[in-house]
Amino acid sequence: MSEKPESDDPQTEDEARVSRRRVIGTGAAIGGAAIGGALAATVGGSARAEQGNAMPASESNTKLDTETHLFRLTSAEPDRYDGGTLRGAHEGTFPVLTGQQASVYFVELEVGAIREPHWHPTAWELNYIISGKADWTILGTHPDGTYRNDAFEAKQGDLVFVPQGFFHYFGNASTEQPLQVLVVFNTSAQEPNDDIGIVATVNSLPREILAAAFGVPVAAFAGVPTEIKPVVITRRK
């Protein structure tokens, strides 16, 4: 029987052991990554499933197949305010929108009326001017660290975009005719559920805090109304 020839290189066996360790280590790393990916997928899937419990896809899809796809927006019973009306198509009035992240409102402001300054924490909005003209102010922060107050007048046929969370208001800029605006949100909830008005904001803070922030006496806020309403359409005083 012939003997195994000895290697001329004394490091051959060591190098072989190193190579084997590298192969084993690489295989372990690949296996670990695969297992980790599988676990991440499982956890991610569970998280998405939990989030979906609030509105299962099957329920949303069922509504798409069973609910009417027509909503007569301008004929709907309006919410009436001192200064105008508001008609809304959302998941509460137009069930087919359930889970679709969309709602539409038809706003009418009488001469001299305004929509209370407010913002929407979880939705942006697109506003189409159907008739009349509106004065707008939109306030938001910007990368340079300053505030930009974008104030302008929008007329019939114009489109106005308000980013999510930006503070804004609009009012009827005409002294002769009503203002009609079609507002589209990327949420299915009705507007009061995603609306924070300036009156509610002021009333959420102690008067002494407001006084300190504005640099005026506490008495300066004595005339601020304390009644908080979910949506306000009112008149210029």
pLDDT for residue 28:
41
How many Cα atoms sit within 13 Å of 124 on the Cβ side?
7
Nearest to 236 by CA among 108, 58, 115, 145: 115
pLDDT for residue 173:
98
pLDDT for residue 131:
98
Both tokens of 142, joined, read 């910007």
pLDDT for residue 13:
53
Question: Scanning the structure block, which residue is given the tokens 């005026």?
Answer: 216
Question: Scanning the structure block, which residue is given the tokens 């929407």?
Answer: 120
- Of residues 198 and 21, more confidently modeled: 198
Distance between CA atoms of 236 and 200, rounded to whole angstroms?
18
pLDDT for residue 32:
42
Mean of pLDDT over the chain: 83
| Three-class secondary structure of residue 78 per DSSP | coil
Q: Which residues, at least 6 apart from 83, have a Cβ–Cβ distance to it below 8 Å?
A: 109, 110, 112, 113, 114, 233, 234, 235
pLDDT for residue 145:
79
Question: Scanning the structure block, which residue is given the tokens 């505030």?
Answer: 147
Start-to-end CA span in the chain (Å): 113
Contact indicator for 212, 182 with CB cutoff of 8 Å: no
Distance between CA atoms of 199 and 73, rounded to whole angstroms?
29
pLDDT for residue 237:
82
* Alpha helices, H only, the chain: 12-52, 57-66, 198-203, 207-214
Neighbour-count burial for 14-50, b at 16+ CB within 10 Å, e otherwise:
eeeeeeeeeeeeeeeeeeeeeeeeeeeeeeeeeeeee
Nearest to 112 by CA among 36, 179, 50, 198: 179
pLDDT single digits (tens) 16-50:
454 444 444 444 443 444 334 433 343 344 443 34
pLDDT cut 90: percent of the chain above it: 65
| Backbone angles phi and psi of 4, in degrees to 5 | -65, 125
pLDDT single digits (tens) 167-193:
999 999 999 999 999 999 999 989 889
Is residue 212 predicted with pLDDT exceeding 80?
Answer: yes
